[in-house]
Chains A and B, each alone.
Chain A
Amino acid sequence: MNNLDMSKLRLSPRQILWVSYAVAFILLGFLAWQYFVTLRTQAESFWTNRLVTIIILVPAVSAAITGTLLTRQFGKGESPHRIWLAFTIGLWFWVAGEIIGSNIDFFPGAAFTSDINLVDLFWLLGYFFLGLSLYFQILLVYGIQKKQGVPLYLGMVALALLVALVLTNLTIKAGRGEGSSWALLFVTILYPVLDVMAGATAIWLSILFGRGQWSRPWWGLILFAVTDGIDAFYRSGGYNFIPAWFQNTLDLTSLLAYPASYMVAGITLFANYCILQYGADSGLLMPAKRS
């Protein structure tokens, strides 16, 4: 038996998952409440901001840790190993970005230019590896040979950069993005381009996998795409064309979807880890039907 003894656990995996979902909903509820308080009083306190940062950081670190645990369940030669390894590396880069971003004052060398800093580098590296994991998953699902692996992916990354480059120039020609440097505008546009690619692929995979446990960590990426989509809409001046109540709705959605993406990724990665570690004993797989 390769599975560990379930009797050593105080809570079953299913119970742990329910507790995790409950905690996640409470934290999201707190964030929503905090948003409405701030909206009413128009005052943000330092400590409230720190609390919000922690509410984002804890699920982010948890997701990266569970991703690491999940990756270790596979042998190095196994196809799923490289998928979840890339996914976990991507998550760790984002965690690094979150930590540096929330404590930028403690990292004096983090700024490359006045607009671009180490956080952006980690974000982009995170995108690279998360995109790679999606790509590996697509190859595996469609049974495409490994030979076409990384070089084709690099080509897709180059395409994303090219699209962002064209859109940046079009934005400048259209007279938008005033006051921003070219680099800042390029990175700002690159994020939603990458989000669209990653989000669309994640939705594609989610449709392919249906309700299957295996694909649920991708749901986190779909939520990230929602958050970044709203952010891109705001930065491109879209808020000028919508009423205030809709702006507030989008703000709240973005505020909740951001930590929720880490929470969904973390909890679903943990579920997959439990399935691998404890098998049918985890209670997360229905017992086979007995005829």
Chain B
Amino acid sequence: MMFVTCILQMCGGRVIVQKYSVRNLKSLVKSNYPFHVMKYLFPQIGDLPIDNPAQNAEGYFRSAKVTGLIEKQFHAGQSAVLLYAGGVPGMAYLLENGQGKSMALAEFSAIPQESLRNVRAIKFPDIAGRLALLSFESALKLNSTITDDAVWREQVNQWKRDQWTGLVEIKSETLHGLVLLWQGELQESDIIFSTPLGLVTAFPHLDTLRDFPWNLLAYSLPASDQAYQYAVLRHGSMHWMNRILSRYQELVGHKLLQTMDRELNQQAQPWSWKILFNESQVLDSHFFIYLNEAEQAYRALFMSMGSQMNIVIGNILTQRLLNETFEQIHPDERAILQSLRLVPAAFSE
């Protein structure tokens, strides 16, 4: 018998978790159980133009190798989602009270058709995928209303002062966005907004927006969670790579840096990693649904960097450069890189 884990009641801050068979779940979602605060990602973007998404969406995602999600909405307001990364099914969640609870892929597929009110399939960029994953894995910390620009700016300044790391969800009449804050800074590489014009990967211009109030949901990221660790790993790797490339350019000049960029871009191409090296900047728009996939990709790129630097500037200087730049990144980022053995010694001969 197949089981689904559900958070049924929140009594006095105590969460009661129970396992339900799919058959029982069917009856549960038909009942008047008070599910509310439904998470409904990116409502402004249209569903995929496919017939019977409940059956055909999986095939579409796999064949088109796109990132997106299938959302199964139960009659009672609860929903289950399955995230796809580059056509590969990743994580499935049961969503209720704005929180996600992990469920098995087989359980997701086995949800009976008659218990569903609607099935939605949407595709979005990888950035949206990884932010969606974070939102499903995170715990709600703050639910407030932003009434105007000034309140928003004050909130941003507060996060800066606190050097807060977490995910922010913004909902309004016309917008729905997810933004990652890292050490109190809004991350340009981790912003996605659905607007009436479609998905945008930048923060909408506040001056042109007049759709306050916003509903602001801030999620804290559990440090032990894989999605959080992936985010730290991604930021750590990108920050380290940026510093390595900048220092390498200082030592050998622009042309050899371009040669390095070309090599690294060629390295990423066969694997369809959406990681772009341009000058001394690295833009990682890829969604690795599993931490070990990201680790392998970054390891391969660091190894390529190291081997080319070894040839040009020699192993001692390469080691020195890697050590110097490694020390410049944030301790949290360094810690996760060290835990995965992505360390200077691993990338110089």
Contact = CB atoms under 8 A, between A and B. Distances in A.
B238 to A, nearest CB: 19
B120 interface: no
Contacts of B311: 212-213, 284-286
Contacts of A280: 259, 262-263
B314 A210 contact: yes
B5 interface: no
- Which of A74, A280, A288: most chain B Cβ within 10 A? A288
Contact of A208 (B266, B303, B316): B316
Interface in A142-170: 143
A79 B314 contact: no
Interface string B286-309: 000000000010011001100110
A209 B303 contact: no
A40 interface: no
Contacts of B34: none
Contacts of A212: 310-315, 317-318
B161 interface: no
A209 B313 contact: yes
Contacts of A290: 267, 270, 300
B317 A209 contact: yes
Contact of B256 (A79, A210, A275, A288): A275
Interface stretch (B10-18, B195-203, B226-234, B245-253): B245-253
A130 B59 CA distance: 67
A243 interface: no
Interface string B115-141: 000000000000000000000000000
Interface in B215-265: 247, 250-256, 258-259, 262-264
Contacts of B255: 2, 73-74, 276, 279
A282 to B, nearest CB: 9
B259 A79 contact: no
A288 B263 contact: yes
B260 to A, nearest CB: 9
- Which of A75, A211, A280, A291: most chain B Cβ within 10 A? A291
Contact of B308 (A2, A208, A211, A288): A288
B317 A208 contact: yes
A106 to B, nearest CB: 40
Q: How large is the interface on A (under 10, 10 to 19, 20 to 34, 35 or more residues)?
A: 20 to 34
A120 B264 CA distance: 49
Interface in B290-349: 296, 299-300, 303-304, 307-308, 310-318, 320, 324
B308 A285 contact: yes
A215 interface: yes
A276 B256 contact: yes
A79 B253 contact: yes
Nearest to A142: B320
Contacts of A284: 311
A229 interface: no
A288 B316 contact: no
A79 B250 contact: yes
Contacts of B253: 73-75, 78-81, 276
A261 B312 CA distance: 21
A37 interface: no
A209 to B, nearest CB: 4
Given A74-B253, A208-B317, A291-B299, A275 B312 contact: yes
Interface in A95-117: none
Nearest to B307: A289
B258 A2 contact: yes
B314 A211 contact: yes
A211 B310 CA distance: 8
Contacts of A75: 253-254
A276 B256 CA distance: 6
Contact of B304 (A78, A80, A214, A288): A288
29 contacts: A3-B259, A73-B253, A74-B253, A75-B253, A75-B254, A79-B253, A81-B253, A140-B251, A143-B247, A143-B324, A209-B314, A210-B315, A211-B315, A212-B315, A213-B311, A213-B312, A214-B312, A215-B313, A275-B312, A279-B255, A285-B308, A285-B311, A286-B307, A288-B266, A288-B303, A289-B307, A290-B267, A291-B296, A291-B300
Given A212-B318, A213-B312, A286-B311, 7 more contacts: A141-B317, A207-B316, A210-B314, A214-B251, A284-B311, A288-B308, A290-B300
Interface of B: 247, 250-256, 258-259, 262-264, 266-267, 270, 296, 299-300, 303-304, 307-308, 310-318, 320, 324
Which 5 pairs between the two chains have the least Cβ-Cβ distance? Answer: A212-B314, A210-B314, A288-B304, A279-B259, A209-B314
